[in-house]
Structure formats: C-alpha cells, structure tokens
Amino acid sequence: MRNPVVTSPIVGVTKPAQPADAIVAVDVELDEDEASYLEESFCRRQPMASSRWSGAAAGPRRVLCPGLRLEDPIPGTPSESTQ
C-alpha cells in the first residue's frame, strides 16, 4: 500500500463473495498515474466539533469530494501561507 501508516483498507460488504475480492485486492500495486487518479476523489475535512468518541483524533479527515486533490487546502482552515 502507498501509505505506510495504512495497514488495510476498510471494506463494507453486501455480498458473500466481496470479502474474498477485497483480500485479493490488497496485493494490487498501482503506478503513480493510477494512484494519483484515485486520490483525486478525496478531500480533507475537519472532524465534527462534538464527537461522541472521546478519544477521536484531532485534525483533518479524508472523505470523498469530487474535484479536489489531497494537497488542496482544507476549506475553512488557514492556509500555510497565512500562518
């Protein structure tokens, strides 16, 4: 996997065959173009102010957001140039 911090994908299944497909997909390696294409669909958001999880990590989360790239600034937060 590209990110050394990530140990496995989070997968939701609705059909019995899907877990086996997900396990096989862990060994798939993407080249830079393929990975960049997939990363284009993610953006970062701040966590909700009142999280019911007491130990929730502070900071940005990545969620699906068409048209934004991982390196784009998080909406509603100061950019590095203004800090």
pLDDT for res 14: 84
67: Cβ contacts below 8 Å, ≥ 6 apart = 40
* Residue 37 reports pLDDT greater than 70: yes
Give the structural domain span for 37: 31-46+60-69
Average pLDDT over residues 49-58: 54
Check if the beta carbon of residue 44 is closer than 8 Å to that of residue 74. yes
Furthest CA-CA distance within the chain: 50
Q: How many angstroms separate the CA atoms of 36 and 16, rounded? A: 30
Mean pLDDT, the chain, rounded, equals: 67
pTM attached to this predicted model: 0.36
pLDDT for res 51: 54
What's the domain count of the chain? 1
